């Protein structure tokens, strides 16, 4: 699949370059580094649009603007927490309300971009281990936009975090007697056995980039640079994605400094 804009993939560890595609890690022996991306000489325009996939399209590793629109989501609210800030001595404390999304987490933002990426690669089935939020979000996206099948592997402790309340065509859930790491290994072996793709988690360069649009959006809503960013993490996808996208924002002159 040829990308519709110039996107080059690069190993963050050893620097090896790859053509655009479903490349979740470096394949150099003993490297296995995270994959990042370069936008080359693409012209960058930040569009005035409430869909962050459209607004930041030119700095995202998503090849098709139409897919970005089709699988799109909306901005979330940025709250100036004046009273909380006053209590702890911060006049400019802001809280990003990603819980406004349908399944209650930023994973809805992330999986909108992931669906656009998967569509660009003509991938029709995906395997994922989840702690609940990713599986809920991707299941919701499949319910809303058909064209993808998903098999989720969850440890029992995470079943209550999966918010799917009805059967969704194309979505299967497997409970694994173990923790998340064990479920992840089972998911990878299952995918390998049946010739399927795993969604890569934090190694998925598109998911990281789209996760990072939340902080770009917050900065644009506030209209000022931030000194500090506080962010909850699990696998680290959101924090890594924020750092990577802030670096791009700094490189194109949209912020004066890194938080």
Asked if 61 contacts 36 with a C-beta cutoff of 8 angstroms, the reply is no
Asked if 94 contacts 218 with a C-beta cutoff of 8 angstroms, the reply is yes
Long-range contacts of 142-146 (CB under 8 A, 24+ apart): 142/168, 142/169, 142/170, 142/171, 143/168, 143/171, 145/70, 145/71, 145/115, 146/170
What does the pLDDT read at residue 168? Answer: 94
What does the pLDDT read at residue 232? Answer: 86
What does the pLDDT read at residue 164? Answer: 81
**Mean per-residue pLDDT of the chain:** 93
Strands (E), the chain: 8-11, 17-18, 35-38, 78-80, 94-96, 125-129, 149-154, 171-175, 197-198
Q: What percent of the chain has pLDDT over 70?
A: 98
Mean pLDDT over 199-206 rounds to 93
Mean pLDDT over 88-113 rounds to 96
**Phi and psi at residue 134, in whole multiples of 5°?**
-65, -40
What does the pLDDT read at residue 100? Answer: 96
What does the pLDDT read at residue 236? Answer: 85
- CB neighbours of residue 116 within 10 Å: 25
Residue ranges in 121-204 assigned as alpha helix (H) = 133-144, 180-194
What does the pLDDT read at residue 120? Answer: 94
Say how far apart CA 53 and CA 73 lie, in whole Å.
7
Tell me the per-residue pLDDT of 12-49, one tens digit each, with 9 for 90 and over. 999 999 999 999 999 998 899 999 999 887 789 999 99
Q: How confident is residue 1, by pLDDT bands cut at 50, 70 and 90?
A: very low
Asked if 39 contacts 7 with a C-beta cutoff of 8 angstroms, the reply is yes
Q: How confident is residue 62, by pLDDT bands cut at 50, 70 and 90?
A: very high
What does the pLDDT read at residue 3? Answer: 54
Tell me whether residue 155 is exposed, middle or buried, using C-beta atoms within 10 angstroms of its C-beta: 0 to 12, 13 to 18, 19 or more: buried
- The answer on pLDDT for 204 being more than 90 is yes
Say how far apart CA 256 and CA 259 lie, in whole Å.
10
What does the pLDDT read at residue 165? Answer: 78
3-state secondary structure of 122: coil
Say how far apart CA 183 and CA 174 lie, in whole Å.
9
Non-local CB neighbours of 168 within 8 Å, separated by 6+ positions = 139, 142, 143
What does the pLDDT read at residue 75? Answer: 96
What does the pLDDT read at residue 158? Answer: 85
- The answer on pLDDT for 244 being more than 60 is yes
Number of H helices, E strands in the chain: 8, 9
Tell me the per-residue pLDDT of 124-177, one tens digit each, with 9 for 90 and over. 999 999 989 999 999 999 999 999 999 999 998 888 888 887 899 999 999 999
- The answer on pLDDT for 116 being more than 70 is yes
Read off the tokens for 207: 């998911």
Q: How confident is residue 2, by pLDDT bands cut at 50, 70 and 90?
A: very low
């Amino acid at each position: 699949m040829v990308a519709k804009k110039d996107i080059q993939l690069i190993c963050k560890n050893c620097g090896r370059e790859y053509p655009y595609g479903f490349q979740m890690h470096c394949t150099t022996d003993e490297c296995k580094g995270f994959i990042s991306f370069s936008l080359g000489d693409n012209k960058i325009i930040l569009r005035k649009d409430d869909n962050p996939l459209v607004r930041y399209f030119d700095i995202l590793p998503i090849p098709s603007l139409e897919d970005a629109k089709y699988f799109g989501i909306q901005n979330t609210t940025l709250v100036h927490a004046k009273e909380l800030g006053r209590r702890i001595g911060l006049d400019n404390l802001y809280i990003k309300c990603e819980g406004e999304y349908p399944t209650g987490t930023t994973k809805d933002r992330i999986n909108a971009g992931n669906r656009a990426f998967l569509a660009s690669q003509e991938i029709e089935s995906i395997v994922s281990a989840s702690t609940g939020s990713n599986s809920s979000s991707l299941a919701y996206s499949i319910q809303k936009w058909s064209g993808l099948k998903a098999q989720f592997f969850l440890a029992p402790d995470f079943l209550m975090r999966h918010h799917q309340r009805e059967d969704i065509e194309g979505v299967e859930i497997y409970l694994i007697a173990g923790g998340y790491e064990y479920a992840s290994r089972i998911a990878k072996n299952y995918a390998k056995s049946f010739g399927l793709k795993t969604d890569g988690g934090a190694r998925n360069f598109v998911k990281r980039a789209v996760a990072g649009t939340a902080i770009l959006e917050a900065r644009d809503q506030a209209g000022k640079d931030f000194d500090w960013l506080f962010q909850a993490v699990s696998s680290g996808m959101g924090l890594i994605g924020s750092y990577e996208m802030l670096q791009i924002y700094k490189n194109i002159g949209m912020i004066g400094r890194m938080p």
